[in-house]
Chain A
């Protein structure tokens, strides 16, 4: 492993300046649960890691009904899952976060890191997509927002420009009569990478029998997590029914473009995309109805 230096950053500006000057020989260090493994395995090589865990803006964990959730990029998973307000308002998100690695990983890993690592199988990202989350990014040219579904552009690559860092993820407050869920398929119970994952969010009408809106996202079946616009759109205005769920599941399968690898085949992953989309929708609908 190539030796590297360690620096503790005190501000967003300091991180931006360091990344801008050190180019691709420096990398942000947050939980370290992806980066340190990659550095040890020689998949990445850096001269410097910049520890961002003590920067105030990256540790925000704030929710108000008006503004939604501001989730700092450095907040470790266990803090998100352990916040009773967030668990109540965003059970689908907490569900996804609780699947990342296992207990020890969640003691260090962050949703921000899960996004920036940009694995096609990242567990938090389909859940964030269906919640309409937005990435708040800071860089040498200032701040910008980017919808989560546009953040990952290829396996391991994000839309961050040189010198930019992810500061926070902004998750809107779900409308009334909404529910969301994330499910994945793995061979082990924990500590595994999703073979396929599906997130779903729905909003129902006051009778609970009709979809007002729906959003479906898939993980591990494409080079990046996928927003399946067609699957959600197909449900708008429709009655909640087996036929509606079947159609959404088929549209999700049509959008999936997985590869064969050690964890699964193309055929299995496409099959799972349909099954998991259906189950995620069922769970989201149940949560929406419970909230009514």
Chain B
């Protein structure tokens, strides 16, 4: 049996999006290959590294383990949706100031994970950050500056909210 395409209506970074995909294609593949959203990266393609992290209805997931067809009717958030027209997100600013990236390959996934953490836990401890980020790997930095940047951003995010 030869399979046709699935038509998917979804929302990405607040924008209504419609695309065609093969039933077996992952969300990661469709984001990168068909929608031009190359921020999410393929690090392992099996849910181990977090380079493909996105939010689906606000929940942090590996986009390599989601079929593109499964996001019909959902709200997807990618790294491209982190900054606003007003400027960088405090996390992005903190990552620059604290040199929390080197090659940058993991950085979109790291930022999405950090963003999701601050949504559920606005004042994480270092241990809580490391535990939450354990499914998001970085080969370059050794994680120390990433953790410091997240701690710094957490206090800024609180300021902004106040």
Question: Measuring CB to CB, which residues of chain A are less than 8 angstroms from any residue of chain B?
Answer: 1, 3-6, 8, 29, 31-33, 36-37, 39-41, 47, 49, 51, 53, 76, 78, 101-105, 107-108, 188-191
Contacts and interface: CB of A to CB of B under 8 A. Distances in A.
B3 A5 contact: yes
15 contacts: A3-B24, A6-B23, A6-B70, A29-B67, A32-B67, A32-B70, A33-B47, A33-B62, A36-B65, A37-B65, A78-B59, A101-B135, A107-B61, A191-B48, A191-B134
Nearest to A190: B134
Given A33-B47, A37-B65, A190-B134, A104 B26 contact: no
A287 B123 CA distance: 27
Identify the 10 closest CB pairs spanning chains A and B, nearest first.
Answer: A102-B135, A190-B134, A6-B23, A107-B61, A107-B59, A6-B69, A104-B62, A37-B46, A5-B23, A104-B135
Contact of A107 (B60, B134, B136): B60
B59 A36 contact: no
B160 interface: no
Contacts of B136: 104
Interface of B: 1, 3, 6, 22-24, 26, 45-48, 50, 53, 56, 59-62, 64-67, 69-70, 72, 113, 116, 130-132, 134-136
Nearest to A46: B24
A101 B130 CA distance: 15
A108 B66 contact: yes
B22 A3 contact: yes
Contacts of A40: 45-46
Contacts of B113: 103-104
